[in-house]
């Protein structure tokens, strides 16, 4: 995340800057990660590509949480027919292979970072809605929640004071773990040409263009691939750490 924020200061060159005469050069002191077929510095493009991947991941997950959590909370609190219909609709969405559905939606909307974020948010939103619904169903049956309702507390106050505090910890953990999944989905769609369009740098797009030169210039694929791997690993470790910190059952003694 720091690399993405400080990309202009960390990158030795612009992500689209050309260096004539230095096409497909191996890593060196001048170009630490080598250059691509157009003479662009791979290190600079990997650094700026972090902005694309994290913007897609943070944007999609934030939008999915902003829509899914209130929706799931309302569904769980209402219960009855509303809950039944909503869950059947979510079952329909879960029945579609996520990547194929993402390809279809992005292809219909047109390849761009904005459409990519909207598509991934649409795919991940039901997960947060189902999570919020399940916590709401459990929490609203607790004695202190029923006591608040018996005393005449408004539904809005019950949700804000008694239900949301129980929803936030698992949602934060799920959101962190979903960031790694979204990075992989964004890289896969960019690999297929459905993400940010050239010359904008994206890790998946760099791997897609570099795969035809793998036998003579493996660094074109290696360094963006390492960036994806480290980002996914980092968010997975962060999610595991948050889960252990927020779940009282896992504190101090590790996993039961």
Q: For residue range 97-140, list pLDDT tens digits in order.
A: 877 888 888 888 888 888 889 988 988 999 999 999 998 888 88
Q: In terms of pLDDT, which residue wins out, 164 or 28?
A: 28
Distance separating alpha carbons of residues 190 and 182, to the nearest angstrom: 12
Q: Look up residue 233 and give its two tokens.
A: 């690993």
**pLDDT reported for residue 32:** 94
d(CA 22, CA 119): 38
- C-alpha–C-alpha distance, residues 128 and 65, integer Å: 6
Contact call for residues 36 and 220 (beta carbons, < 8 A): yes
Q: Helix (H, G, I), strand (E, B), or coil: what is residue 15?
A: coil
Q: Binning pLDDT at 50, 70 and 90, where does residue 249 land?
A: low
Question: Within 13 Å and on the Cβ side, how many CA atoms surround 63?
Answer: 18
In three-state secondary structure terms, 41 is: strand
Average pLDDT over residues 64-75: 92
Tell me the C-alpha distance between 70 and 162, whole Å.
14
Residue 173 has pLDDT above 50, yes or no: yes
Task: Flag whether pLDDT at 256 surpasses 60.
Answer: no
Average pLDDT of 224-244? Answer: 92
Half-sphere exposure of 36 (CA within 13 A, CB side): 27
Mean pLDDT of 237-247: 85
As a whole number, mean pLDDT of residues 228-250 equals 85
């Amino acid at each position: 995340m720091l690399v993405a924020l400080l990309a202009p200061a960390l990158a030795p060159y612009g992500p689209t800057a050309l260096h004539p005469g230095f096409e497909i050069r191996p890593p060196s002191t001048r170009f630490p990660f080598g250059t691509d077929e157009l003479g662009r510095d791979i290190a600079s493009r990997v650094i700026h590509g972090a902005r694309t991947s994290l913007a897609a991941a943070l944007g999609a997950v934030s939008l999915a949480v902003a829509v899914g959590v209130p929706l799931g909370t309302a569904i769980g609190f209402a219960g009855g027919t509303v809950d039944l219909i909503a869950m059947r609709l979510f079952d329909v969405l879960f029945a579609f292979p996520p990547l194929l559905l993402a390809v279809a939606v992005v292809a219909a909307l047109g390849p761009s970072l904005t459409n990519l974020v909207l598509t991934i948010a649409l795919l991940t939103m039901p997960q947060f809605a189902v999570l919020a619904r399940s916590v709401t169903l459990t929490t609203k049956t607790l004695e202190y929640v029923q006591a608040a309702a018996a005393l005449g507390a408004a539904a809005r106050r019950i949700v804000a004071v008694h239900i949301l505090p129980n929803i936030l910890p698992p949602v934060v953990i799920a959101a962190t773990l979903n960031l790694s999944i979204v990075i992989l989905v964004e890289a896969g769609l960019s690999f297929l040409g459905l993400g940010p369009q050239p010359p904008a740098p994206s890790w998946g797009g760099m791997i897609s263009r570099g795969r035809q030169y793998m036998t003579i210039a493996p660094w074109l694929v290696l360094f963006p691939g390492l960036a994806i791997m480290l980002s996914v690993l980092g968010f997975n470790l962060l999610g595991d750490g948050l889960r252990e910190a927020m779940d009282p059952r896992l504190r101090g003694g590790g996993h039961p």
